């Protein structure tokens, strides 16, 4: 027989998700899905792992995710596979693989685990969950406005609207970014001798990625770097103005953050984040942007897109340890002679849609303490006297009030506790 060490722990950056946290995770994911459905989104589920090329093409072979954070391995056939570090690449691949160009516009919602080998910190794990949405096939700012509105609506449904701030910026069109890249490269080149090693490696290939650097020395250099807004052409300015007007029309509050960028080539125009001051330096809880060149870069047809993703665990930190809304009802036999009757009643109520907790042992006092511990909304007490009169004693666990209810109608009475 195998023996297990008492020190056996989960892999660093992962953890067992126990019932209380799962209740919060379920609340976040179901709320996201419910709101997305109101906006006409259908759910898509892509594989947890893809050919490594999917992420190499989309995230870029010089990105930190690809070079430092991906979980990549060879299968028995020698194919290089990678556990997905994010959701958009898989959705874009599915769009191409399934020939969905004929179905645009597409509005897709996804949820599930992602994997990144990064330093575990507050709200960030190496295995984590995301919810996300993508609108594929619409180049108009209406898609940007709707996508951001959906994100704001989702966070409001979680009652987090007072804990978050919407920050957004424009990355402009390709022409604008080329002009900005030249200005940024000229500026950064003056600091070659003091840039961090990582940023120096990005200087010639994609200087925009330097703007995401967390290195203290780099941040001082970045503070005085030229701003992308000063390189925008008229088309890009109009696009951004239309977006801002649409958000104002919907009364969605925002802050324009001139330093908010996306370093990947396929991103353009809109970039946005919902941030919170309650999560430390890594403040984003929901982030997204427009990616008009992504699908074509992967080998598909020219197809515009915009979307966002939200870290589920980070949102649960903001929600706190709230009670599960699905509170059970506890059925308790007053003595051992009533155990079978209690079991029968519990079974009947479960088949009628109730969540029922039936304690297996202990006296009446212990079972009532158990009902308190599991946050039961009500208790049904079954004693011999009640059974002889075909009634049950229902106790409201919030008020302490008790009432006798005929067993033949007890399911109707308990509906208020569903």
Q: Which of 348, 380, 349 is nearest to 364 (CA)?
A: 380
Give the ranges where 286-379 is alpha helix by DSSP (H).
Answer: 294-297, 312-319, 339-351, 364-373
Judge if 311 and 334 occupy the same domain. no
Q: Quick one: 272 and 390 in the same domain?
A: no
pLDDT attached to residue 60: 62
List, for residues 136-161, the tens digit of each pLDDT value. 999 999 999 999 999 999 999 999 98
One domain for residues 335 and 310: no
Let me know whether 369 and 292 are in one domain: no
Task: Note whether 94 and 103 are within 8 A (CB).
Answer: no
| Residue at 180 is within a domain | no
In a domain, 345, yes or no: yes
Within this chain, do residues 71 and 139 fall inside the same structural domain, yes or no? yes
Number of compact structural domains in the chain: 2
Question: What is each CA distance from 400 to 173, 271, 345, 372, 413, in whole angstroms?
Answer: 64, 53, 22, 12, 16
| C-alpha–C-alpha distance, residues 272 and 256, integer Å | 9
Among 319, 352, 382, the domain-final residue is: 319
CATH number at residue 66: 3.30.930.10
> Is residue 201 in a domain?
no
- Check residue 256 and give left, alpha or beta (phi > 0: left; psi -120 to 50: alpha): beta
Stated pTM of the model: 0.84
CA pair distance 392, 385, nearest whole angstrom? 9
Q: How far apart are CA 78 and CA 156, in angstroms?
A: 47
303 and 343 housed in the same domain? no
pLDDT tens digits, residue range 300-348?
Answer: 999 999 999 999 999 998 887 554 557 899 999 998 889 999 999 999 9
CATH code of residue 351:
3.40.50.800
Same domain, 109 and 155: yes
User: Which of 270, 287, 319 represents a domain boundary (last residue)?
Assistant: 319
Assess whether 309 and 366 both reside in one domain: no
The segments of the chain whose pLDDT lies below 70 read 1-6, 60-67, 119-123, 263, 265, 280-282, 321-325
In a domain, 187, yes or no: no
pLDDT at residue number 1: 47
Residue 136: strand, helix, or coil: strand
95/64 same-domain check: yes
Q: Could you tell me if residue 264 is inside a domain?
A: yes
Do 77 and 122 lie in one domain? The reply is yes
Assess whether 70 and 106 both reside in one domain. yes
One domain, residues 252 and 119: yes
Confirm whether 118 is domain-assigned. yes
Identify whether 225 is part of a domain.
no
């Amino acid at each position: 027989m195998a023996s297990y060490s008492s020190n056996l722990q989960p892999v660093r950056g992962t953890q067992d998700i126990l019932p209380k946290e799962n209740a919060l995770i379920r609340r976040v994911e179901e709320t996201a899905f419910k709101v997305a459905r109101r906006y006409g989104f259908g759910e898509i589920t892509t594989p947890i792992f893809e050919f490594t090329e999917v992420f190499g093409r989309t995230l870029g072979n010089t990105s930190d995710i690809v070079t430092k954070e991906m979980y990549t391995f060879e299968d028995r056939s020698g194919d290089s596979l990678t556990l997905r570090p994010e959701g958009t690449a898989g959705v874009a691949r599915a769009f191409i693989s399934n020939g969905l160009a004929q179905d645009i516009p597409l509005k897709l919602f996804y949820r599930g685990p992602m994997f990144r080998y990064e330093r575990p910190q507050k709200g960030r794990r190496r295995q984590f969950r995301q919810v996300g949405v993508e609108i594929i096939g619409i180049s108009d700012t209406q898609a940007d406005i709707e996508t951001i509105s959906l994100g704001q609506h989702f966070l409001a449904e979680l009652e987090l609207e007072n804990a978050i701030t919407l920050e957004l910026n424009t990355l402009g069109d390709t022409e604008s970014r080329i002009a900005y890249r030249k200005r940024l490269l000229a500026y950064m080149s003056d600091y070659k001798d003091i840039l961090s090693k990582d940023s120096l490696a990005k200087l010639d290939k994609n200087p925009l990625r330097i703007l995401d650097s967390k290195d203290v020395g780099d941040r001082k250099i970045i503070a005085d770097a030229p701003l992308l807004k000063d390189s925008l052409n008229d088309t890009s300015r109009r696009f951004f103005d239309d977006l801002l007007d649409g958000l104002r029309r919907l009364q969605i509050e925002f802050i324009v953050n001139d330093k908010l960028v996306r370093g990947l080539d396929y991103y353009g125009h809109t970039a946005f984040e919902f941030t919170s001051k309650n999560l430390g330096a890594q403040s984003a809880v929901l982030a997204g942007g427009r990616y008009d060149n992504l699908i074509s870069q992967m080998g598909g047809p020219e197809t515009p897109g915009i979307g966002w993703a939200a870290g589920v665990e980070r949102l649960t930190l903001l929600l706190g340890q709230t009670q599960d809304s699905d509170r059970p009802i506890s059925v308790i036999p007053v003595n051992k002679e009533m155990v079978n009757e209690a079991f029968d009643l519990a079974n009947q109520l479960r088949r009628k849609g109730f969540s029922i907790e039936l304690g297996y042992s202990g006296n009446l006092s212990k079972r009532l303490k158990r009902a308190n511990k599991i946050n039961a909304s009500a208790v049904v007490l079954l004693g011999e006297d009640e059974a002889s009169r075909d009634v049950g004693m229902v106790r409201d666990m919030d008020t302490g009030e008790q009432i006798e209810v005929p067993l033949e109608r007890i399911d109707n009475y308990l509906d208020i506790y569903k």
